[in-house]
Structures are given as C-alpha cells and as structure tokens.
Amino acid sequence: MDLTPKVLPETKPFWDAAAEERLMIQRCKPCARHYFPPGPICPHCSQTDADWVQVSGRAKLFSFVLTPSPWPQWKREGLVSVVSVTLEEGPRLLSTVVDCEQTAGALKLDMELTATWRPFGDGPKLLCFRPQTKGAQG
C-alpha cells in the first residue's frame, strides 16, 4: 500500500511551504479566521475567499495516543505518538511529536510545541512538532 502523501492542487501551497520548512495554512478573508485542512470553503462562515498565510508554528498539545510505528518511512522504533495539536492561530491538526520521549510521562497535555519537518521516505517532508525550547530564563 502506498502511504506517501498525495499533493493535490488545493493542498499544493501547504506542501510547497513544507519543502521550505514553513507552515502555510488558509485564512478566510471575510471572517479573518484561520482554518485547516485546506479547502475551498471556510468552516467558520462558509465563504469561499481565503488567502494562504504563513503561521508561527507554535502549538499546544491537545491530545495524544501512542501506537506502534505504523509507517516504515518513519524509520522510528517502538511506540510513536499520534497527536492532536492546537495551533496558536486556532486550527487543530493531527501530527506527531519528535525530539521527545514517546511515553505518556513525557508527553504532557498543553505542553508548548513548535513545528518542525521530517523526511518521510521519498515523499514530501512531513509536518511534525517538537517541544518548544525554553528561553534564557529557563
């Protein structure tokens, strides 16, 4: 089974930005709210006039499960997190947390995350999240 993400015309700006390790999502012009996944219709107000905008990549962990690595492209051993994160701009999306122990003790709800990208076989880079590193004040 081919599990490589498919780049569709309506998602191409997302994948083009991912190749440059930037997170682009859509923002509705009439209601000014961000939304994801990409689509022609705003889920908030049903209008069809949206821009692609770059967002911060900052997010908080909303929920997670740990599962045996489902895709060989990850080249990861043992349990892998499948997470729901809430972007600073509002949308919630599914991803995984990397650079973090894959245990229920290390993954904490509401932990601060930042976007990062990882190779995924021969396909496009995948959006992942890693724990946000603290500033100088610790």
Residue 33 beta carbon to Zn ion: minimum distance, rounded to whole angstroms: 5
Torsions phi, psi of 45, nearest 5? -130, 0
Among 28, 80, 111, 126, binds Zn ion (CB under 5 A): 28
Nearest to 89 by CA among 54, 50, 126: 54
Closer residue to Zn ion, CB minimum distance, 90 or 123: 90
- Candidate segments 12-20, 23-31, 95-103, 105-113, binder of Zn ion by CB under 5 A: 23-31
The contact pattern for Zn ion, residues 35-64, with x = CB under 5 A and - = no contact, is -------x-xx-x-----------------
Strands 126-131 and 79-87: unpaired
Spell out the residues 6+ positions from residue 119 whose beta carbon is closer than 8 angstroms to its own.
125, 126
- Site residues (vs Zn ion, CB under 5 A): 28, 31, 42, 44-45, 47
